[in-house]
Amino acid sequence: MKNNNPKGIILILLGMFIFSIQDSMMKYIYSSVSLYEVYLIRTLVSFTAIFLYLKITNKPIIFYTHYPLLTLSRVILFFFGFSSFYISLTIMPLATATTLFFCSPFLITIFAKFILKEQIGPRRWSAVTVGFLGVYVVLNPDFSNFNYLSLTPILCAFCYALSMIIIKITSDKDNVYAQMFQFYIGATIISVVFYFFIGDGQYNNIDNPAAQFIFRKWFNNLEFAMPYMIILGFTAALAFLILFTAYRIASPAVISPFEYSILIWASLSGWFFFDEIPNTRTFVGMFLIVCGGIYIFIRENIKNQPIVTEKPLR
């Protein structure tokens, strides 16, 4: 019974805080590591942590999927989606990147309409419009000199939204732990493949922080970076377990809006660690995005039509 909403809210707040710490650490070390080097180490640590947790708690460990093609698509979307988010941290403030990522509920709503054939009424379409207006306000695009890397958090949200639609389909047979293991295995394979193609740093010849983050030579600064990468792996596993527990014990319709607390944590982390203070446009856009997202949660609850709200994975 999903009746422990107060505890669920506390767990969501804690999980979002941990995710903000993870993003802050990624932003802190990006100038000293390669993106997919971090991905590999973090994934291996998270895989080990979740595996040990399941062994200790005597829960079944399942790797098999009933939906191989959908699972492969989800893994690729999730992998490159969050690659885009981490790349965005090299060129924009933490709070801005996090705010833009939260256009994902609007994209999930759109995909639910056209892929899952869900009925979306005019009120939710209005909320989607308000949300994308917030995105426009945050981006404040100057089309004569627009940095297209500013769209990387939105690309992340796009990939994340599609992967959540796939999870909506696959969750009837694949449990959440199996879906996480499938992602860990896929992310490890993709990262190892990248190592053989770009791990020697031969393509690191572009004077751009995002490009350097992608193409920097692997394992070149392990003494500094390894402790952070290990912590990133543990925090990813811990945040996942906390969020999964929250969605298991509480009503998704009640606790989902509290995921927006990460915007507070991201703003505070950006200010405290990186001296980043969001400007007025960012706060206005953040307000519009949050209002649009929360209204979608409310309408889904009223219609008993959970699409955006049931998402225990980040």
Tens of pLDDT, residues 11-58: 999 999 999 999 999 999 999 999 999 999 999 999 999 999 999 999
CA separation for the pair 166, 170 (Å, rounded)? 6
What pTM, to 2 d.p., does this model score?
Answer: 0.92
pLDDT-based confidence at residue 148 (cuts at 50, 70, 90): confident
Place of tokens 């640590």: 45
Give per-residue pLDDT as tens, 158-213: 999 999 889 888 888 988 899 999 999 999 999 999 999 999 999 999 999 999 99
State what percent of residues in the chain have pLDDT above 70.
95
Least confident of 51-55, 234-238, 303-307: 303-307
- Tell me the mean pLDDT in the region 264-278: 95
In the Cβ-directed half-sphere of 118, how many Cα atoms lie within 13 Å? 22
Q: Which residue has the higher pLDDT, 3 or 109?
A: 109
pLDDT of residue 121: 87
Give per-residue pLDDT as tens, 92-115: 999 999 999 999 999 989 998 888
pLDDT-based confidence at residue 90 (cuts at 50, 70, 90): very high
pLDDT-based confidence at residue 276 (cuts at 50, 70, 90): very high
Q: Answer yes or no: is pLDDT of 142 > 80.
A: no
Q: Answer yes or no: is pLDDT of 310 > 60.
A: no
